[in-house]
Every structure is written in structure tokens, then in C-alpha cells.
Amino acid sequence: MNKMVLCFGICNGFQALIKLGLVPYGEILEMNADMPTLTYNDIARHQSKLVTTKVVSKLSPWFNKIELGEEFVIPISHGEGRFVANENVMQELIKNGQIATQYVDMEGNATYDIEYNPNGSVYAVEGITSKDGRILGKMGHSERSYRGNILNVPGNMDQKLFESGVEYFK
């Protein structure tokens, strides 16, 4: 992949990236049973709400304008957003710093609690990257959290993803 390429998929875009293998592998691969995927939410229905996510890796240039550990309130809206992967894959993602963001509770802890992890994602994964970080896939709709689009809700909503993407090419 060209070093100047960045790719970002939100929600259904994340589904496309993961089904192709671009996240977490960085290349298009034939799907097999050992690969991570996105599937139906644990509650077997659509979820649409605000959640808190935490940036747990800055491997990706998409996160260049924020701090590691920063938390963001972002909207989600999906019926098939549960990230699943076997333990070997999860350990590899952790080792490589490819888990970019996680759903967290009010104390900032990754959780399986459906109130905070709306789909039941393993390890509370909300977003992952390719090994080099240039491909990012995430479920939360960061593009819906801009300039006062969501009013009267406390919390930081601007992940500065798009600013970081533009800055990457300067």
C-alpha cells in the first residue's frame, strides 16, 4: 500500500473494511473462520444512542491531534456492530496496538455492560486499525459529532479525526 494512503471506515464502512481483511491485516484477504468480524448486537436489535469511547492506541495517524486515553461521547446507530475475534487474534491485536478505541463506562473502564458497550463487542472494541495504523475502522459515528450537532450533552465529542487526516498529508 502506498505510504501516502489513509483509509477510514465508519459503521458500515468498518464492516466493509473488516470483511475485506483491510482491518486488521492491511490487505484484501479471503475470509476464514479465524478472522475477526462484525456481527449482530448481543441484544439482537438495533441500537441508537450516545456512548463513551476511549482512545487506547495512537498507532493510527487518524488520532494525531488527540491524547492517548482521551474519552469521547459519540453517537452509534447499528444492528450489526458487535466485534468478535478469537483469543489468539485479540492477543495479537493488543500486542500490535491495533485496538484503537474501546467502549468505556463512567469511570473510563472498558466494559461488557450493555449500557456502555451497546453491542457486546469482545474486549469492548469500538475501533481497530491495520498493522501500520493507516487504515481505521470504527463503529461510532464520529462524523455526526461536529460543531453543535448534538446539544445539551456533556462530554468531548470532537475526535479531530478529519483534521488529523488532513494534517497527515501536509
- Per-residue pLDDT of 84-137, as tens digits, reads 999 999 999 999 999 999 999 999 999 999 999 999 999 999 999 999 999 999
Exactly one of 80, 92, 141, 163 is catalytic; name it. 141
Task: Find the Cα–Cα–Cα–Cα dihedral 33, 36, 41, 44, rounded to 10°.
Answer: -10
The least confident of 41-55, 57-71, 134-148 is 134-148
Q: What is the 3-state secondary structure (H, E, C) of 70-138?
A: CEEEEEEEECCCEEECCHHHHHHHHHHCCEEEEEECCCCCECCCCCCCCCCCHHHEEEEECCCCCEEEE
Q: What is the pLDDT of residues 25-54, one digit of tens each?
A: 999 999 999 999 999 999 999 999 999 999
* Sign of the dihedral through C-alpha 40, 41, 44, 47: negative
Q: What is the pLDDT of residues 6-32, one digit of tens each?
A: 999 999 999 999 999 999 999 999 999
Secondary-structure class of domain 7-168 per CATH = alpha beta
- Tell me the Ramachandran region of residue 130: left when phi exceeds 0, alpha when psi lies from -120 to 50, beta otherwise: beta
Asked whether 9 and 16 are in contact (CB, 8 A), the reply is yes
CA atoms of 109 and 86, how far apart (whole Å): 21
User: Quick check: is 143 catalytic?
Assistant: yes
Using 50, 70 and 90 to split pLDDT, how confident is the model at 2? low
> What pLDDT shows up at residue 3?
59
Exactly one of 71, 80, 143, 163 is catalytic; name it. 143
CA atoms of 39 and 18, how far apart (whole Å): 11
> What pLDDT shows up at residue 16?
98
What is the edge-to-edge ordering of all strands in the sheet holding 71-78?
Answer: 7-10, 135-138, 125-129, 99-103, 47-55, 71-78
Using 50, 70 and 90 to split pLDDT, how confident is the model at 55? very high
CA atoms of 105 and 111, how far apart (whole Å): 6
For residue 162, the surrounding DSSP H or E stretch is helix 161-168
User: Quick check: is 27 catalytic?
Assistant: no
User: Quick check: is 78 catalytic?
Assistant: no
Exactly one of 7, 11, 78, 126 is catalytic; name it. 11
